[in-house]
Amino acid sequence: MAAEAKTKAKVLEVKELTKSFDHHAAVNGISFALAPGSVTALVGPNGSGKTTIIRTVAGLSKPDSGRIEILGAAAGSRQARSVTSIIFDEPALYADLTVWEHLAFSARLCGVEDFSARADDLLRRFSISELHDSLPSGFSRGQRQKVSLAMGLVRPYKLLILDEPSNGLDGPGVRSLAASLTESAEAGAAVLVATHLPDLLQVCGAMLAISDGKLVYQGKPDRARIESPS
């Protein structure tokens, strides 16, 4: 009973995670946990290991050692993926699907058929309603990123992970993103956002700072640590 309560209190639990590439430790013995309803910033310079952590949590990279659990399920398992939504920094869209179809399939692949109202709301929020039936070939970087964000938010999730989500976004886009993160946390999801942008720190209740693959700070958001984590 006590163990179950402990698991419920942690949506994501990372323990002693280590991952190397060509004998270089990209992530070195990192441990942390995220509680439901929390928004946590993941900061660190380029190459510090943020994306590696995110890819390992997504089950796209296998860790060399350590353990990752999402609501008690191993990272990358079907159970874990059914409650995890991940948005990467580089938007990747099908050239032959419209914006609406991207959102529709993102929801339907998670077993949600009643997605229209949510999808419409997200299109309006990110000011891309007029792109509803457009193919992404002529989209700007920012528009593609907005579609990518809407795809990640339209599906159900208990853990929301975003890797540099504000790349290419305009001012209103960043504000909509910040509002979405807050709403997600209020709905009970745990949010982890890798960012360099001080604006997004305002909505974060906690911060993890990474340097050379090691966790060097864990606590309240601290702007100074974006530039100098240690």
Residues that bind another protein (CB under 8 A): 55, 58-62, 76, 78-79, 81-82, 84-86, 88, 90, 92-94, 96-98, 101-102, 105-106, 108-111, 135, 148, 151, 155
Nearer to another protein, 78 or 220 (CB): 78
- Which residue, 43, 40, 15, is CA-closest to 29? 15
**Residue 87 beta carbon to another protein: minimum distance, rounded to whole angstroms:** 9
**Residue 67 beta carbon to another protein: minimum distance, rounded to whole angstroms:** 19
The three-class DSSP label of residue 64 is coil
Contact present, 42 and 192 (Cβ < 8 Å): yes
**Residue 53 beta carbon to another protein: minimum distance, rounded to whole angstroms:** 14
Nearer to another protein, 63 or 229 (CB): 63
Contact present, 192 and 160 (Cβ < 8 Å): yes
Task: Work out whether strand 73-74 and strand 24-34 pair parallel, antiparallel, or are unpaired.
Answer: unpaired
Burial class (CB in 10 A: 0-12, 13-18, 19+), 120: middle
**Residue 173 beta carbon to another protein: minimum distance, rounded to whole angstroms:** 19
**Residue 5 beta carbon to another protein: minimum distance, rounded to whole angstroms:** 26
How far apart (Å, rounded) are the C-alpha atoms in residues 48 and 58?
Answer: 18
Nearer to another protein, 10 or 55 (CB): 55
Nearer to another protein, 112 or 206 (CB): 112
Nearer to another protein, 88 or 126 (CB): 88
Q: Which two tokens stand for residue 131?
A: 């792109």
Tokens 């350590």 locate to: 66
